[in-house]
Amino acid sequence: MPGILLNWKRVDDDRKRTEQNASRHVFWWDELGDEAALTRSGRTVSRKWSVYNTKTIQIGSRVFLIAQGGVSDGIVASGFAAQPPNGKTALLEDSVVYLDSNWKTGEPSNYVMVDFDVILDVRSHPKHALATDSLMRGDLAMMHWNTERPGIEIKPKPEFHSPANLLPQLELLWQRNLKSIAFPISSDDADEVAAMAVFGYEGRLRVRTHKTRERRPQLTKAKKAEALKRYGKLVCEVCQFVFTVRYGDHGSGFIECHHREPLSKIADFSGSRVTLDELALVCANCHRMLHWKDWPSVEELRNRLNPNFG
């Protein structure tokens, strides 16, 4: 899955915030510190971002945001492409790019929702950005980092005719930068970072002020997207309950995601690269039963409920 590069030009404090552009869709310069603090505490910040005329971005794609034009030039944020917001529909199948009105002009434009896991407060700490100059080394130098078009893939320019995968190299450099500025990072393991994949980090312990099992919301979103593409609905894999059949539109998009291998069995700091096949979509009742008493598997609970299920 390719990485995606977005670009950001500072929105000044003194820019008039009309009703149209005052919504929290962009990073306002005077609010950047608050956004950065949220991600430093382990929370994600969801924002829509213009991708110009790009139409194909997969859910869970790794996203990097580069500041341009004198605003601590360089990578200042990272995240993952998320599902369009409620009421918006993706332009194409297998894509999360959707059409919305531009926050400045009001004209239709292509957007993507991003769950940012890191935002750097480059207003207070300009040198915290991963400087653009540092991206001009090795294979990364084949990428056009100063592009004016947001939403492009992170890959070598066509003239290099290179199949090099730049994403692991960028991820490693980004993690090293976060470590150097004491930002709480997910791993110090170079091999793990270099092998970064959207569906590959689930269950590892992240150390901040305490230890917490790390869960990626992108996994659940991707599992739901896969089920909707295959079956056209979200069905409990144990009892076959369908929320939209029972609750109509109110139940649209609702179902819970179950780890077939309990996270509690994962050794501290060893981590586990979870694939979608290792997850199951279940209703709340069945999810509780899967975590009750002898912790049956999805198949075992299904057979107990309906031995004739075929």
- pLDDT at residue 198, as a whole number: 35
Tokens of 268: 């501290």
Which CA distances in Å does 124 have to 60, 71, 129, 260? 30, 11, 11, 44
Q: What is the 3-state secondary structure (H, E, C) of the chain?
A: CCCEEEEECCECCCCCCCCCCCCCCCCEHHHHHHHHHHHHCCCCEEEEEECCCCCCCCCCCEEEEEECCCCCCEEEEEEEEECCCCCCCECCCCCCCEEEECCCCCCEEEEEEEEEEEECCCCCCHHHCEEHHHHCCHHHHHCCCCCCCCCEECCCCHHHCCCCCCHHHHHHHHHHHHHHCCCCCCCCCHHHHHCCCCCCCCCCEEECCCEEECCCHHHHHHHHHHHHHHHCCCECCCCCCEHHHHHHHHHCCCCEEEECCCHHHCCCCCCCCCCHHHEEEECHHHHHHHCCCCCCCHHHHHHHHCCCCC
pLDDT in tens, the chain (310 residues): 679 999 887 655 444 444 444 444 556 677 788 889 999 988 888 988 989 889 999 888 899 999 887 667 899 999 999 889 888 889 988 889 999 887 677 788 899 999 999 999 988 898 999 999 999 988 999 999 988 888 999 999 999 999 888 988 899 899 999 999 999 865 444 444 444 433 333 333 333 333 333 445 677 888 888 888 888 899 999 999 999 998 888 888 889 989 887 654 544 434 445 678 888 999 989 998 988 877 889 999 999 887 765 5
Euclidean distance between CA atoms 48 and 115, whole angstroms: 9
CA dihedral 37, 266, 173, 139 (to 10 degrees): -140
- Sign (positive/negative) of CA torsion 37, 38, 41, 46? negative
pLDDT value of residue 273: 56
Q: What is the pLDDT of residue 249?
A: 85
Task: Find out whether 123 and 33 touch, Cβ atoms under 8 Å.
Answer: yes
Contact 86, 19 (CB under 8 A): no
d(CA 208, CA 187): 12
Other Cβ atoms within 10 Å of 160 Cβ, number: 13
Domain ranges of the chain: 4-198, 217-305
Task: Check residue 208 and give its pLDDT.
Answer: 34
Q: How far apart are CA 231 and CA 209, in angstroms?
A: 42
- At 231 the pLDDT is 87
**CA dihedral angle for residue 147, residue 150, residue 153, residue 159, rounded to 10 degrees:** -30
